[in-house]
């Protein structure tokens, strides 16, 4: 993984409490599942009204991040942005104010990877481990314990956080050193929001063709639940060109040919309806190269 090896052995579940700071839309369902943690759960949020479901479930509360760190071996942070993460970790009442050596701070917020690296360096000066551990799957997955979590940190820190993370995540990936978890999350969300933009383009085409775009949405959700959507072609371990004798070459060539055919038909429909489809044009131009098998006949004809 390219990560540094921690000299500390992973803590046993019964040896430490878990802290959770930030009980918002994502944090609350994640922390709710940590009520089962055998070492106990300590929660902290600026809004007193959100604490009651946790205290009634057996958790204890803390007024500050520093107080959480006094009592916990692992502290999860799920706040809004880089500034809030820095305040929670390094502020006057932050985690580092009282964290003991060997404590692991896990930040689930999507922040800049440089922020994660800088905070990890500050933590290391105190003998504290830092992992960036952003999540994917949204609140519904959090409630079911089905999140994916991408962890950047040392092998030792990863071993320590794995058990508590298993209570709210069904896929735990050690992405590499600190910052790698965030980089993986950014790549994942790049796909996510480009896909949203493509969905908007598809809706415009369908609406211009006098179709019910709500019904189109039902078809997309249904078919993607079976095919896996874009993730279904993310199976190779490199983006380098695929050699003709490679197992994937005929599969990805087939995907390219189907894609180029359907994209060219959609673009023709868009031209007839007067609907610009810039993402579709870019997709037709780049699909084969992106798949690693080069452009097909239809793409070549368009140039």
Name all domains of the chain by residue range, CATH numbers in brackets: 13-179 (3.40.50.720), 235-303 (1.10.1040.10)
Q: What pLDDT does residue 205 have? A: 98
How far is C-alpha 161 from the geometric centre of its chain's CA atoms?
A: 16
Q: What pLDDT does residue 299 have? A: 81
- Ranges of the chain with pLDDT below 70: 1-14, 303
CA angle 174, 76, 170 (to 5 degrees): 45
Angstrom distance (rounded) from CA 142 to CA 148: 9
What's the whole-model pTM score?
A: 0.90
Catalytic site positions:
185
Report the 10 Å Cβ neighbour count for 59.
23
Q: Are 290 and 238 in contact (CB under 8 A)?
A: no
CA 83 → CA 79, 126, 219, distances in Å? 9, 21, 41
Q: What pLDDT does residue 14 have? A: 59
Q: What pLDDT does residue 301 have? A: 83
Residue 229's region, left for phi above 0, alpha for psi from -120 to 50, else beta, is left
Q: What pLDDT does residue 4 have? A: 38
Q: What pLDDT does residue 11 have? A: 55
Q: What pLDDT does residue 9 have? A: 52
Helix (H, G, I), strand (E, B) or coil at 245: coil
Nearest to 76 by CA among 160, 5, 191: 160
Nearest to 75 by CA among 11, 121, 137, 118: 11
Nearest to 229 by CA among 199, 265, 200: 199
Q: Are 109 and 137 in contact (CB under 8 A)?
A: no
146, burial (CB in 10 Å: exposed 0-12, middle 13-18, buried 19+): middle
Q: What pLDDT does residue 6 have? A: 41
Tokens (6 digits) for 89 = 């970790």
| Beta strand residue intervals within 121-234, DSSP E | 129-132, 135-136, 147-152, 169-176
Phi then psi for residue 137, to 5 deg, are 135, -15
Nearest to 153 by CA among 188, 183, 190: 183
Report the 10 Å Cβ neighbour count for 215.
10
HSE, side-chain direction, 13 A CA sphere, residue 232: 11
CA angle 146, 150, 152 (to 5 degrees): 150
């Amino acid at each position: 993984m390219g990560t540094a090896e921690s000299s500390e052995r992973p803590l046993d579940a019964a040896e430490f409490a878990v802290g959770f700071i930030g009980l918002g839309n994502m944090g609350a369902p994640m922390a709710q599942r940590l009520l089962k943690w055998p070492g106990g759960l300590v929660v902290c949020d600026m809004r007193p009204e959100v604490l009651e479901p946790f205290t009634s479930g057996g958790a204890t509360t803390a007024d500050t991040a520093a107080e959480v760190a006094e009592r916990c071996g692992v502290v999860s942070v799920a706040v809004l942005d880089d500034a809030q993460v820095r305040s929670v970790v390094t502020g006057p009442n932050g985690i580092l104010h009282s964290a003991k050596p060997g404590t692991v701070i896990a930040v689930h917020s999507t922040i800049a990877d440089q922020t994660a690296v800088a905070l990890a360096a500050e933590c290391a000066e105190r003998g504290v481990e830092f992992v960036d551990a952003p999540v994917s799957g949204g609140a519904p997955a959090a409630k079911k314990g089905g999140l994916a979590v991408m962890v950047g940190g040392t092998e030792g820190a990863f071993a320590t956080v794995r058990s508590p993370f298993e209570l709210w995540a069904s896929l735990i990936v050690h992405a590499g050193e600190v910052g790698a978890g965030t980089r993986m999350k950014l790549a994942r969300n790049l796909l996510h929001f480009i896909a949203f933009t493509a969905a908007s383009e598809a809706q415009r085409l369908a609406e211009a063709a006098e179709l019910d775009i709500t019904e189109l949405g039902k078809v997309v959700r249904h078919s993607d639940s079976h095919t896996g959507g874009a993730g279904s072609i993310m199976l190779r371990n490199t983006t380098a060109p695929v050699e003709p004798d490679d197992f994937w070459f005929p599969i990805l060539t087939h995907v390219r040919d189907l894609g180029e055919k359907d994209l060219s038909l959609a673009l023709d429909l868009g031209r007839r309806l007067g609907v610009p489809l810039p993402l579709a044009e870019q997709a037709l131009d780049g699909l084969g190269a992106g798949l690693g098998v080069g452009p097909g006949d239809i793409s070549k004809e368009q140039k």
